[in-house]
Structure 1
Amino acid sequence: IGSFLIDKPLILWINDGLMALFFFVVGLEIKRELVAGELSSVKKAALPAAAALGGVVVPAAIYLAFNAGTPSERGWGIPMATDIAFSLGVLALLGKRAPYELKVFLTALAIVDDLIALLVIALFYTHDINLTALGYAAGLMGVLTMLNLAQVRNLVPYVLLGLVLWVLILKSGVHATIAGVLVAFAVPVRNVVDSRKFVEDSLHAIETFKASETGTYNDLPSEGQVDAIHDLSRLAYSVQSPLIRAELMIHPWTTYFVVPVFGLMNAGIELHGSVHQALLERTTLGVILGLVIGKPVGIFLASWLGVKLKLVQMPRNFTYGIVLGAGALAGIGFTMSLFISELAFKDPVLLYDAKLGILTASAVSAILGLLLLKRFLRKAGT
């Protein structure tokens, strides 16, 4: 359209386009936690925020210790990332042994980590800014904000304007996936609900369903029951906030389609005879040690220091050993680390080394995290 031409190979449509949906869901999760979740107050957010800060600074420092002053220096953001889905998935293997407080801590930690990673992408992995496109994007973001303030609950305007915003962000030079986060932040999180009316209408629909029973066995509901079911469905939909509706709608697609496709297209590396040599390259070592050592050590030290300075408070039944185990699980960088590596390196050799480091570190971190948590949870008696 005019001078606006988008011509990209398939892998960039995945990395810039499909991954915008992934970051849209990440943005929804961050906003939900900031407004009404585990990050909604200073008291709740203090420990995971401090832990996340330590969990990005120490890995980046370890990476730079190996790579400062070399062409691979640009990859310092790779070991900062945590893959929230994989980390929580591995934690789920512990079943009931994993206390609720641990799940909340790891989730909040990973969300703050994602927020920091997004800032790093926007500030340090952006090139050749087009101020005109960026200005239009800022204006469109203003329109989205006005829709939010006006409590527009229909998701269609957000989707349509979000697509335009994606194009403008793409043309501005800022990574296009940031558009997903910005649109997510504009979607209203609260809903105006008349609780009494909702309960009354729901009870009326249930009574209608009961009264419409035919008294005979039949696999098919009566016409009155169908109407009652539709009423209940409409009522349930009406009390869901736009943010929750969007998250429920998009989350399965990102989990079962976007992330697997991204992983298949980006995680593949050719294992050949020189793998052992590649494992000793400074890029690979920086990523592995940053994720496997830097993550748990940074999270542990930041949490310990916060408690000692009385800036944060440890949850009930929590120990520093459990924090260390959670920190090890946070070393599963996978999706986010792969994404940052694609932004950091154009050199195929450096990209190969980074991916090898990410895959190795993610596997080691998963095993290490499980072993540490099994041990320290047993000691804590949970």
Structure 2
Amino acid sequence: MSTSPAGLFRRGSWPETRRIGDILRKETIGGMLLMVGAVLALIWANSPWNDLYEDIRAFEFGPAALHLDLSVATWAADGLLAIFFFVAGLELKREFVAGDLRAPRRAVVPVAAAAGGVLVPAIIYTVVAVSSGSGQGWAIPTATDIAFALAVLAVVGQHLPAAMRTFLLTLAVVDDLIAITIIALFYTSDLAILPLLGALVPLALFTVLVQRRVRSWWLLLPLAFATWTLVHASGVHATVAGVLLGFAVPVLTRPDEKGEGLAEHFEHRFRPLSAGVAVPIFAFMSAGVAVGGLSGLGSALSDPVSIGIVAGLVLGKPLGILGAVWLVSRLSGGKMDQGFTWIDQFGLALLAGIGFTVSLLIGELAFGPGTEQDDHVKVAVLAGSLTAAVLASVVLRARNRFYAQTYAAEQVDEDEDGIPDVYEHDRASNGEQR
């Protein structure tokens, strides 16, 4: 048994690599749709038909008896994003229960990187913006947008190692968990205890049913909706319900189960809905801001709130992530795998500065939708995310050309068993049975 330090970015198992590949394909399409939604919103909001866009956002519908007569924009932020966070909850639980990250030595790196990528941007924002009395927006630059970042990675990094993709996905999922925790703890006002306690009843029933492997939508969906409704009524942001429901779903299959497990079943059903519908609609409903020409853009970006957000995303994210990874490597004695360098990690850290979906959501919670500072938040999030995407693309494009030369060798399957030989070599080196 080898006693050498574990590689910080060791190639995962072949089944995990295939699963990550499937996720990336769905999230990549979602990221493209997200960008289309955001661009259309910006064009419409800055057109002569801006009033129509605002009227659509403000249009209210829903059962008033349940206090759910909400605007279209609120339904997108509170309702559709609950689907997004449900899938994030499923993915996070799967990674730590059945994925390659169930081993603590492999999990500690992306978890620490996510924590560093939250802490440092928050500090930078606070230092820049607190003098203006806008400290409540400190969490805006802490979030990484999974779909947006993976879409950029798919465009510029077709030949990058699978370990880089796995790392980015896991970092973003843990980042989302931290973000939803921040939302629950720091952006909850007028907490109503009775509805919150009441939400435990349908959540418990949902948990019992899924633990018994019940898949009947007519039983599960009403319980999920009841949980979401009660959490929404409690004052806690309703997307928290999505994460709790995702955590309730069992990941491991029982000996008597046939086919895919329940978590995998839900993931297949809801990930396309999340990536292809929920997040793009939210982007379309949230990204539209009337800039007001170059003078308006300059005014928005000169706001300390905007400066703090852009600095947090473009500088804070890379500094926090790289610093955390360096610290873990020093404390644990871990090392980069052969051929995987710090410049690769730098490219990923830049890419993590793409904050969109959750950043826009936190901006609305911090300053209120439709306010002047919320408009500045939108401009800053878009500017910071675009800058991070361009810088990351420059670095990762160069690394992609380097890895393209080794990609073909990694896909060789001389025994034609459907598993590239490099993964079989990894398994043999670790003493695993075929």
State the TM-score, normalized to the length of structure 2: 0.74
Q: Distance in 2 between matches of 1:285 and 1:348?
A: 18
Q: In the alignment, which residue of structure 1 is the partner of 2:195?
A: 133
SS of aligned partner of 1:188: coil
Deviation of residue 71 (structure 1)?
Answer: 3.4
Q: Which has the larger radius of gyration?
A: 1
Q: In the alignment, which residue of structure 1 is the partner of 2:269?
A: 249
User: Does 2:285 correspond to 1:265?
Assistant: yes
Deviation of residue 153 (structure 1)?
Answer: 4.3
1:22-101 → structure 2 map (5 Å cutoff): 22-101=84-163
Q: Distance in 2 between matches of 1:93 and 1:353?
A: 29
Q: In the alignment, which residue of structure 1 is the partner of 2:235?
A: 173
Q: Distance in 2 between matches of 1:136 and 1:49?
A: 32
Q: Distance in 2 between matches of 1:155 and 1:120?
A: 31
| Cα-to-partner distance string for 1:208-238 (whole Å, 9 max, x where unaligned) | xxxxxxxxxxxxxxxxxxxxxxxxxxxxxx4
1:119-130 → structure 2 map (5 Å cutoff): 119-130=181-192
Amino acid at match of 2:122: A
SS of aligned partner of 1:332: coil
SS of aligned partner of 2:68: coil
The root-mean-square deviation of aligned C-alpha atoms, in Å, is 2.1
Q: Which runs of 5+ in 1 are unaligned?
A: 196-237
Q: Distance in 2 between matches of 1:360 and 1:246?
A: 35
Q: Which runs of 5+ in 2 are unaligned?
A: 1-62, 407-434
**Native 8 Å contact 1:24 1:184 kept in 2:** yes
| Cα-to-partner distance string for 1:233-272 (whole Å, 9 max, x where unaligned) | xxxxx41112111111121122222111111110011122
Deviation of residue 149 (structure 1)?
Answer: 3.7
User: Does 2:172 correspond to 1:110?
Assistant: yes
Deviation of residue 375 (structure 1)?
Answer: 3.8
CA spacing shift, 1:154–1:3, aligned 2, 3 Å? closer
Deviation of residue 341 (structure 1)?
Answer: 1.0
Q: In the alignment, which residue of structure 2 is the partner of 1:309?
A: 331
SS of aligned partner of 2:70: coil
CA spacing shift, 1:153–1:9, aligned 2, 3 Å? closer
User: Does 2:365 correspond to 1:343?
Assistant: yes
Q: In the alignment, which residue of structure 2 is the partner of 1:12?
A: 74
| Cα-to-partner distance string for 1:56-97 (whole Å, 9 max, x where unaligned) | 101000000112254321111110000011111111123443
| Cα-to-partner distance string for 1:315-350 (whole Å, 9 max, x where unaligned) | 443221111110100001011111111111127111
Residue from 350, 354, 375 that aligns with 1:352: 375
SS of aligned partner of 1:309: helix
Q: Distance in 2 between matches of 1:96 and 1:253?
A: 25
Amino acid at match of 1:330: A
Q: In the alignment, which residue of structure 1 is the partner of 2:244?
A: 182
Aligned residues: 340
Q: In the alignment, which residue of structure 2 is the partner of 1:319?
A: 341
State the TM-score, normalized to the length of structure 1: 0.83
CA spacing shift, 1:316–1:85, aligned 2, 3 Å? farther
Q: How much identity, in percent, do the aligned residues show? A: 41
